[in-house]
Structure 1
């Protein structure tokens, strides 16, 4: 990790059910957010963050480490939940972190919309689109929420928004956009 918890190592559950975001990809993502003209160093300062399909919680914890005020973690896998709880405790982030044991495609109503959302579901299942639809319907998104999705390099992502950035990293690809920001006429429908 970087930020306030620089050098902290996170645990990952045994088995193949959870695919943690690699340290290299996480570093590339947060460097991109810090230096992009559409985000910048202050993008996480005081932000409310949602880490959907949280797994180990690496993305939400990194956001907390870099200045986010609070993070909500959604996960349903029992082994991942145990690891997530241990990682939050190891970072002493219990006061700023909340775990929801739920399916992202059927979440509870949000107490307030989030400023930044990370979606890192299992690849090739269409869960980014299904998760976004459910999260939007239950109030987790607002116009302007910065959405970061990790998908497989060959996955087609059907979103109706202008992409702010898209970066290939090994088997994964990061796609970033603002919720509610429509795609300009004539742009691509899916990548």
Structure 2
């Protein structure tokens, strides 16, 4: 009787123990990453590129920016925005240990412009849109395997201020059609990519709403 081949274990690289703030008032500050929750923080070099993109759009002036981080995780994105002088940063995560850790960091940094909420991202986005809250920048870095982008990106249409931006991180390129957009899925159709790139398994995109015909 032929033996079945033994299963080869899949070795995933562990998350980094720390990430660092790249620029601004808290430059080089180390942010701990909780291993137990399987957090996957945006790599430092990807974050540096993304914030350069955004700063270019805004003439390097963050002082008027209201920012929403719907999947806060390590806090690397939201705290980076606060470090660079954003007017306000709302950071949301559903996990209590994450929010507790972020609150410790907030107190240490005296990050008075940061608001932390332990809540569901979808419910929060719907509620804020209904209340008329608007943001100049929304970070979307959800778990890759849960199809969250197709659920959360449409909600951002009602959350963005005029000329607002959305940063999207994913495990695959966003499925924009190559030519006229007819094959673009409905949840992505209102958007256009200003910039996009890839680093390892991370695909990252800076989006804005398409101009509406007059």
Quick check: 1:104–1:134 contact (8 Å CA) kept in 2? no
Shift of 1:32: 2.3
Q: What corresponds to 1:173 in structure 2?
A: 203
Whole-Å Cα distance in 1 between the matches of residues 51 and 155 of structure 2? 26
Q: What RMSD over aligned residues (CA atoms) do the two structures have, in Å?
A: 2.2
1:52 aligns with one of 52, 70, 75 = 70
Q: What corresponds to 2:53 in structure 1?
A: 32
Q: Please list, as runs of the form range in 1=range in 2, the aligned pairs for 1:53-72 lying within 5 A after superposition.
A: 53-72=71-90
Quick check: 1:121–1:128 contact (8 Å CA) kept in 2? yes
Q: What corresponds to 1:164 in structure 2?
A: 194
Matched, 1:98 2:119: no
1:120 aligns with one of 121, 141, 147 = 141
Equivalent residues, number? 177
Whole-Å Cα distance in 1 between the matches of residues 169 and 200 of structure 2? 12
Quick check: 1:106–1:134 contact (8 Å CA) kept in 2? no
Shift of 1:148: 0.5
Q: TM-score, normalised by structure 2?
A: 0.74
Say which structure is richer in strand: 2
Q: What corresponds to 2:39 in structure 1?
A: 18
Whole-Å Cα distance in 1 between the matches of residues 212 and 148 of structure 2? 21
